[in-house]
Structure 1
Amino acid sequence: MFSKSNLLATLAAAFVMFLLGWAIWGFALEDFFESHTISDVMKDEPNPILILVSNLIGAFILSSIYRKWARGQHGIKEGPEFGIAVGAFTGLSMGLMWYATSNWMNFTGHLAEVIIEIMYYALVGIVISVIYNITRKADNS
């Protein structure tokens, strides 16, 4: 669980999650989501330290699950497949749950969130698989 591969994948994925999260939700699509928000629940100033800690925890969990899921196969398809599955779970499954139970965003906002989360986690999955692949090759040399 605390292997070199897992810890390096965690750090790389957390870095990507933090930067992509800021770039997507905090910058590029901020106005889009604002226009599709029904009830604004955002803090005026989000806590970047807690966001980073959250990304580290999430990246560690994703990297740990990926390690078992991939079963030593860290090729070009495993990372995006894993990330797409995670993104579909968080974006589609949980997004529909949020839409059914809350007045957070309208349907268009939730639909966009599905697409964004699938792409976001596909990229995170690629980062994790690449790190596992690199460290596996380094361990075998």
Structure 2
Amino acid sequence: MNKDTQQYNQAFLSDEKAICDILAEEIHTHLPEAENKIWHRHPVWFLDANPIVGYSKIKAGIRLMFWSGASFEEETLKPGTGKFKDASIVYTSADQIHLADLKRWINKSVKIQWDYKNIVKRKGRLERLK
């Protein structure tokens, strides 16, 4: 895991830090081939320069977002604005994280991908990669 991600997690209080630590460890475990870095001020994992999953602090808690999550057909993941294919879940405590769900979503994030890497080239139009 990227040391910047570890530093990001350490900036939080105990409950939020616990959530971030679990998310980072699980994502790192199940996406070992992914590049992890701080992107737009929060941790994101990339496959072939395409953003896959990340998390960030929002007012409601810690938001876990999958860039292609709206295509996962998972009730628990709430779609974003509809402009893109993202979906997310917000955690307020570590005991809300269901590891089996998280693993399934991470596996789907590898199998179901929209091409965010080239969205600027395509003038905002997304194409499905997988």
Same fold, TM-score > 0.5, yes or no = no
Name the TM tier (shorter chain): under 0.3
Higher relative contact order (CA 8 A, sep 6+): 1
Give the TM-score normalised by the residue count of structure 1: 0.26
Structure 1 or 2, whichever has the larger Rg, is 1
| Structure showing the higher helix proportion among its residues | 1
